[in-house]
Chain A
Amino acid sequence: MALNFSEPAIELNLAGITVALAIGDPSLRRAVTARYAEFIVINQNPQAILQVQVNHRAQFIPMKPGRWIIECTERGGRLHYRSYFDAGWIDLERGEAFLEIAPGIDIENFLRLLYAHLCLRAGGLLLHAAGIIRHDLGYVFLGPSGSGKTTVARLSLDDTVLSDDLIILKIQGSKVRLFGVPFRGDFLEAPRVNQSAGLHCLLALVQAPQHRVAGLTGPEAIARLLACVPFIITDVGRAQRVMTLCREIHERVPVRALHFRPDAGFWREIHEG
């Protein structure tokens, strides 16, 4: 892809996966550089180049009340993305992506989609989960929106909160490594921490009156993991690959259910459990 801008690309590295962001618009460059500062690297070999073009008239879907719409489709070997004020495509084979965006709109939704696919190609998973490093060990708290991921993150401020919404897991030999990402859920004020740790356990969140750690059967554990993989299970081949990865993660690291109420006492239960 020919890059039609004069500024050097901003290289973003998450879990060892580099995306070169070719952004010509000065305002967007500044915003992206500030927002993702902890994850910016220099002179890495990018797995993908994302060209971002700001268009003052960009609007792709008429606004309507209700949930924020993001449409993803596949045609012609490309993944196509469309939302209200941004639209683009990803060509994974060529390592190219393009995003057209209205001024003032951030590129994060598209970056999440791009990284979800790049992670899978690299043998990893972007997971809808909170990630915390405690005493040098990685803990992942799984669950859909509203399950308590942000609550767990807010109750763990003495530890290193990687994210309250998305993390990356990569299998490394007989172990799994947990990586932070600069993507936030509701805990917007949390620092964007570029750290990683060996994964100690995964905990599927269940709100309850008392803290309790409970075992899950293999199929239950795999199903909990699968349900927290965003964006990429839109094709049966990828679904099979994701299932296999979830099984491999489960073979290496325990997946349990954490019944918890909103106080930090759940940590004692985890350590004792």
Chain B
Amino acid sequence: MKDEHLSLHPQVAMQTIDGVAVMVLADSGRVLVLNALGTRIIELLISNQSVVDIADIIVSEYQVSMKEARHDLDSFLRKLREAGALT
């Protein structure tokens, strides 16, 4: 896992509805509804936390192993990248 800072793509519109992030990718019109964990990760990205810092926070908040946190975080961020939601 690289210790990088990621941001939402400037063409992403997002609102939090009932505690869950709904994202619209203006480039493609695609709509994504995140779950509570995904929403938390996006909040941390927006607050300029690095990927490694986010993994640490997930371990402490969700009581999972670092290996599991990094695996799931990598997978989630890869999906967002593929959707064009991250830069």
Contacts and interface: CB of A to CB of B under 8 A. Distances in A.
Pairing of A with B: yes
Interface of A: 217-220, 222-223, 226-227, 233-236, 238-240, 242-244, 247
B80 to A, nearest CB: 16
A210 to B, nearest CB: 26
5 contacts: A218-B17, A218-B18, A222-B15, A233-B26, A243-B15
A247 B33 contact: no
Interface centre among B18, B20, B31 (most CB of A within 10 A): B31
Given A233-B29, A236-B11, A236-B12, A226 B24 contact: yes
What DSSP secondary structure best describes chain B's contact surface? strand
B26 to A, nearest CB: 5
B22 interface: yes
A235 B18 CA distance: 24
Contacts of B11: 236
Contact of A217 (B13, B18, B27, B31): B18
A147 to B, nearest CB: 15
A242 B25 CA distance: 12
Contacts of B31: 223, 226-227
Contacts of A235: 26
Nearest to A224: B31
A75 to B, nearest CB: 16
A217 to B, nearest CB: 7
Q: Which 3 A-B pairs have the closest CB atoms?
A: A239-B13, A218-B18, A239-B24
B29 A234 contact: yes
